[in-house]
Structure 1
Amino acid sequence: MLTSIWEYGTQRGDNVLTQDYLMRMFMQLAAAMKESLLRARGENDPRVAADMLDAAISDATEMDGGLLLCMAPESMAAMLRLSQPDPQLMEYVSRSLLLSSRYSSEAGDSSIAALRRGQAYAVARAFGVDLDESSVSQQELDALFERSGLDPNALGISAPQ
């Protein structure tokens, strides 16, 4: 009987650690998305905004960003599926990829923009995420943050109106 109580406590402890980890990843990606909106609009520097999002994706997936972000869309989705990530984390990743695509396009890098867009939709399909161009609007991002238990205003970054 003690073994089962210990196992329950261990499983519960693992769940708490997993939830803490996921909240950190959500906060990291949410902050990167909000900051990228500011940089792209306020500083008119979409290349820096795209690079910031790409770095956040690399950190959140704990994979080599240089390799992951160069993969063909379906290969990226398959690689991410192998790591068995949280589906909600993959929603953040797919939206970050789509936002990075937008900024890469604005920066004049159409090949990277097309790759990120393809990656965004491949990851979304692989994890059952509904994704379209409106998914990266300020209102949709704030709704995502709130569904995840994050207060968009508490991220310390406020997008221009």
Structure 2
Amino acid sequence: KEMYANDQASGKIQGYGSKLANNASGQLEWEDYFFHLVYPEDKRDLSIWPQTPADYIEATAEYAKELRALATKVLRVLSLGLGLEEGRLEKEVGGLEELLLQMKINYYPVCPQPELALGVEAHTDVSALTFILHNMVPGLQLFYE
């Protein structure tokens, strides 16, 4: 873990991290995560990307490529739906060259006192788009209406 650890204080945001803290409602937030930039390619720090499984780098790079294409499609559809020119929203968030894709893999350890713990409290992501790959584990909640 230390080899891949991030260090928020020094500005090293990519890597492994762990969060164990009480939130505003008094519940314990407990999560381990691996965070890395996946697009554009020059923002990737492959030195902290896992070497196992053996195809992790290749699979993640391909996933990022497909996700970037999906982001373009979604932003175009949203632009048109808002009555804007097709590429407007993508341009506003940095265009093809500047739009960052970040990948965060969360793990929520089993807590010996589950009534006291919560994976992540209610929050708002600060990104322009968030794509969630749901793994069919119960608990994902989205605010609706």
Q: Normalising by structure 1, what TM-score?
A: 0.27
Higher helix share: 1
Higher strand share: 2
Q: Normalising by structure 2, what TM-score?
A: 0.29
Larger radius of gyration: 2
